[in-house]
Amino acid sequence: MLLRKCCYSGSWAIRRAFATKQAQILVHPEIKYALEQKHPIVALESTIITHGMPLPENVETALQVEQQVRSQGALPATIGIIDGCIKVGLTKEELTELAHKPREHVIKCSRRDLPYVVAKAQSGGTTVATTMLIAERVGIKIFATGGIGGVHREGHVTLDISADLVELGRTPVAVVCSGVKSILDIPRTLEVLETQGVCVASYDSPGGVFPDFYTRNSGCKVPYELANPTEAAELLQAWHALQLRSGVLIGVPIPAEYAADKHAIEAAIKEANYEAQAQGISGKEVTPFLLARIAKLTKGRSLQSNIALIKNNAKVAAEIACALAKIQQ
Ligand code: PSU
Ligand code: MN
């Protein structure tokens, strides 16, 4: 039943990547060809579409991000789950379908949610953790997003620590992002990444200054800095050769002209965190709630920052993917 539903389009290549009998990953023919030819590919997540941004910005941004990747000579592969089928390389129609689904009909799908969503033939946006694990199964090494999940403020008490961090510790995919939001506890997030054995570097950010999503400087430093795509590709080449089985995190600061005012954003974050607590928001709802409240409280300015940085990250990831493909030829 599930199998038939997944095969609705004859043009989809079916890859039996999961150990179980039925679960499949459907790879778009264009991506399949690029994988075979070792062309540069950048994976993209879909929780940002389903739960990270409102309509219509979510669809518009997703398409612009794909365009950014293409403009650098790489191929975008947006990953998501439609009616229980895991798809790599969503079409514009599928991406639009996911974006328009009411939130109660689309699951924010992290690693732990995957079996249920597939079993029930539901649809889901894949988080950083899930996008990483699917990308790795099909052989995509580089992934661009806005920000990853991390240790929440008070996370050392509540243990609200994103599965993204654990995934980075066990899945060899390089994630290009603007760090973690200051809605989170950044120093503790970096500590967990260190514990997980994740190689964390800043990109085009002198002194190893780590970004905090909305602004270019979180006040935290990371031990390594990468100046350009070639340096990043050389790091990734060494990482492949070492077969460490853990991920790499590359922190790219938001372009200066789109950076938020630190005080204004901090005030919005404090208020949003307070509201989340007061309303008893917990678990997987916390991040989407905070994102939406901060966008409201900043009168949409945080959303504009979010859009600008993810487009820039996609461009940087594509440049790195192209440089890596060149080295590996
Ligand atoms: N940070 C953002 N936008 C997002 C997310 C994080 O700025 O949309 C999403 C990503 O998909 C990330 C997930 O993987 O939230 C983390 O959620 P949680 O903290 O529940 O693990
Ligand atoms: Mn959480």
The closest alpha carbon to 74, from 32, 45, 31, belongs to: 31
Instruction: Report pLDDT for 19.
Output: 45
> Between the CA of residue 260 and those of 24, 38, 257, 303, what are the distances in Å?
42, 38, 9, 10
* Paired strand residues for 81: 86, 124
Average pLDDT score, the chain: 92
Angstrom distance (rounded) from CA 59 to CA 81: 16
DSSP of 220-288: EE-SEEE-SHHHHHHHHHHHHHHT--S-EEEE-PPPGGGPPPHHHHHHHHHHHHHHHHHTT--GGGHHH
Per-residue pLDDT for 15 more than 60? Answer: no
* Paired strand residues for 41: 75
Mutate which of 81, 164, 214 to test ligand 1's pocket (most atoms within 8 Å of Cβ)?
A: 164
> Between the CA of residue 121 and those of 94, 124, 180, 327, what are the distances in Å?
15, 10, 31, 41
Indicate which atom in ligand 1 lies nearest the CA of residue 52: 8
Instruction: Report pLDDT for 21.
Output: 53
Distance 25 CA to ligand 1 centre (A): 22
Instruction: Report pLDDT for 226.
Output: 98
Give 182's pLDDT tier (boundaries 50, 70, 90).
Answer: confident
Residues 165-180: pLDDT tens digits? 999 999 999 999 999 9
Per-residue pLDDT for 17 more than 60? Answer: no
Residue ranges with CB less than 5 Å from ion ligand 2: 160
Mutate which of 47, 192, 303 to test ligand 1's pocket (most atoms within 8 Å of Cβ)?
A: 47
Angstrom distance (rounded) from CA 141 to CA 42: 8
Cβ 301 under 6 angstroms from ligand 1: no
Is 45 one of the catalytic residues? Answer: yes
Instruction: Report pLDDT for 126.
Output: 98
Q: What is the reported pTM? A: 0.93
In the block, tokens 């009998």 appear at 21
From the list 32, 87, 108, 181, the catalytic residue is: 181
269 phi, psi to nearest 5 deg: -65, -45
Angstrom distance (rounded) from CA 204 to CA 251: 9
Per-residue pLDDT for 11 more than 80? Answer: no
8 Å CB contact between 180 and 189 = yes
Per-residue pLDDT for 1 more than 80? Answer: no
Give 23's pLDDT tier (boundaries 50, 70, 90).
Answer: low
Structure tokens at 11: 């043009």
DSSP of 45-75: -SHIIIIIS-TTHHHHHHHHHHHHHHHTT-E
**Residue owning the nearest CA to atom 17 of ligand 1:** 149
Residues 79-92: pLDDT tens digits? 999 999 999 999 99
Instruction: Report pLDDT for 24.
Output: 86
90 phi, psi to nearest 5 deg: -60, 140
Residues 122-168: pLDDT tens digits? 999 999 999 999 999 999 999 999 999 999 988 999 999 999 999 99
